[in-house]
Amino acid sequence: MKAGRGLPNMRPVLATDFDFELPEELIAQRPLAERAASRLLVLERQAAAPYDRRFVDLPSLLRPADLLVFNDTRVIPARLQGRKPSGGAVEMLLERALEGRQALLHMRASKPLRPGQLVLTSGGDVTVLGRDEDLFRVQLPAEAIDFFSRHGTVPLPPYISREADVQDAERYQSVLAKVPGAVAAPTASLHFDAALLERLAVQGVPRTTLTLHVGAGTFQPLRTLNIDEHVMHAERVELPEAACEAIARARAAGGRVIAVAAAALPPEIATDSGAPLRPWRGDTRIFIKPGHPWRVVDALITNFHLPRSTLLMLVSAFAGRERVLAAYAHAVRERYRFFSYGDAMFLERHAAGGEGA
């Protein structure tokens, strides 16, 4: 299927094409006692159906020449409660840190917030400067990362129906987290603990990192029925030279590039001709959907995602929508745990590209 051409009957690809039934009790509300104790659903390149493993079995699926690519972003405590001088409550969620003391926030209040509005917080006054699409541009009492790190709380996803606690400060964070800036965790990496990383290193499976500061927009539902009309929030990404070199070495050794972090990078930095990746830093709002021209990634480690979500569309672009939805149906029947604190999948890119993969 060509990009933008729709499903095989040539109609546009719709958000409803990514629906599935999920019993509410399968939405994981807390992490397991051990990170690597999760289940792992495997969908291999030529397989007609998925099969069940444990996440600790991951080394058996990898070869020494394979390369694991992680996201080293660190989740900051990006949620903050404030109030208007009149007493009205204001809920704030950091989306992007900007230059100086400015930032882009999601803000929710009982009445609309106007430019010049003050919001009182435990760390000082926040001033609303204006709107940037559906976000608010604000002036903070200090630089955004420092301010929210001091006064905010862990921003658990909206489908976790409880307040964040002490456990979340550690478990909603990858053991490889290093660069502060994310609002949401790169959840596939939450399954890796130090012992599993050591086993992989002993096996000779190398790893590298890029930085993608995941924004709250990852949880936003599509507002359009036709997915081609959806506009993504921008996210900050950095692909360092070391990652480019590691990918080149894996390719030269005949290994697979296995993404524990899939970043939508501009197409000009990786071409179909096989030219090497180049380091890049900037904002990305590329929507990975059926029709996306995958150039680097051979396999993907990911969690299970929400119906109609852009992340489910990314996975479907990689392995084929029908195959992915069939795997999700299998996961529901087998009582897998879903979403951020849930179980994982190992997907190889479909031999025929899936539906636009």
Measured between its terminal Cα atoms, the distance across the chain in Å is 9
Amino acid at 37: A
Both 61 and 182 in a single domain? yes
Q: How far, rounded to the nearest angstrom, does the alpha carbon of residue 144 sit from its chain's CA centroid?
A: 21
Both 330 and 222 in a single domain? yes
* Helix 321-333 vs helix 310-319: crossing angle, to nearest 10: 110
| Burial class (CB within 10 angstroms; exposed 0-12, middle 13-18, buried 19+) of 287 | middle
Both 69 and 88 in a single domain? no
Alpha helices in the chain (DSSP H): 144-151, 166-171, 194-203, 241-252, 310-319, 321-333
Both 225 and 105 in a single domain? no
In this structure, what CATH number is given to the domain that contains residue 143? 2.40.10
- Sequence-ordered list of residues with C-beta below 8 angstroms from that of 234, at least 6 positions apart, any chain: 96, 215, 283, 284, 285
- Sequence-ordered list of residues with C-beta below 8 angstroms from that of 67, at least 6 positions apart, any chain: 205, 206, 207, 208, 246, 247, 249, 250, 255, 256, 257, 258
Task: Give the model's pLDDT for residue 295.
Answer: 83
Task: Give the model's pLDDT for residue 187.
Answer: 95
Residue finishing a domain among 122, 151, 180 = 151
- Encoding tokens for residue 93? 């969620």
In this structure, what CATH number is given to the domain that contains residue 340? 3.40.1780.10
Both 101 and 21 in a single domain? no
Task: Give the model's pLDDT for residue 292.
Answer: 85
Both 48 and 140 in a single domain? no
Both 67 and 111 in a single domain? no
Q: Which of 100, 147, 101 is nearest to 121 (CA)?
A: 147
Instruction: Identify the domain containing residue 339 by its residue range.
Output: 15-75+167-348
Both 205 and 226 in a single domain? yes
Both 181 and 235 in a single domain? yes
Q: Find out whether 192 and 174 touch, Cβ atoms under 8 Å.
A: yes
Both 52 and 125 in a single domain? no
pLDDT, averaged in runs of 10, over the chain (357 residues): 46 92 97 97 91 98 96 96 96 94 95 96 97 94 96 94 94 96 94 98 96 84 87 89 95 95 61 71 89 88 95 94 96 98 95 44
Both 55 and 108 in a single domain? no
The answer to whether position 6 is within a domain reads no
Task: Give the model's pLDDT for residue 271.
Answer: 43
Q: How far apart are CA 333 and CA 248, in angstroms?
A: 40
Count the neighbouring beta carbons within 10 Å of the beta carbon of residue 225: 13
Both 196 and 250 in a single domain? yes
The answer to whether position 329 is within a domain reads yes
Residue finishing a domain among 125, 151, 177 = 151
Its pTM stands at 0.90
Structural domains of the chain, count: 2
